[in-house]
Amino acid sequence: MFQRIEMRLSGSGGQGVILAAIIFADAALEDGLNAIQTQSYGPEARGGASKAEVIISKDEIKYPKVVKNDILLSLTQKSYDKYIASLDKDGILVVDESVDVKEDVPYKVYKLPILSTAIDKIGTHMVANIVSVGVLYAIMGEGVINIETLKSSISNRVPPVTVEKNIRAFEEGIKLIRG
Name the residues that contact another protein, by CB under 8 A. Answer: 22, 25-26, 29, 34-47, 61-65, 67
**Shortest gap between Cβ of 18 and another protein (angstroms)?**
9
For residues 125-161, one letter each, b for 16 or more C-beta atoms within 10 angstroms of the residue's C-beta and e for the rest, the string is bbbbbbbbbbbbbbbbeeebbbbebbbebbbebbeee
Task: Output 30 or 171, the one with its CB closest to another protein.
Answer: 30
**Shortest gap between Cβ of 104 and another protein (angstroms)?**
28
Task: Output 7 or 22, the one with its CB closest to another protein.
Answer: 22
**Shortest gap between Cβ of 138 and another protein (angstroms)?**
22
Compute the radius of gyration of the chain from its Cα atoms: 15
Whether residue 71 contacts residue 136, with contact meaning beta carbons closer than 8 Å, is answered with: yes
Task: Output 125 or 165, the one with its CB closest to another protein.
Answer: 125
Report CA-CA distances (Å) from 18 to 3, 99, 177, 179: 23, 20, 22, 26
**Shortest gap between Cβ of 116 and another protein (angstroms)?**
13
Task: Output 155 or 171, the one with its CB closest to another protein.
Answer: 155
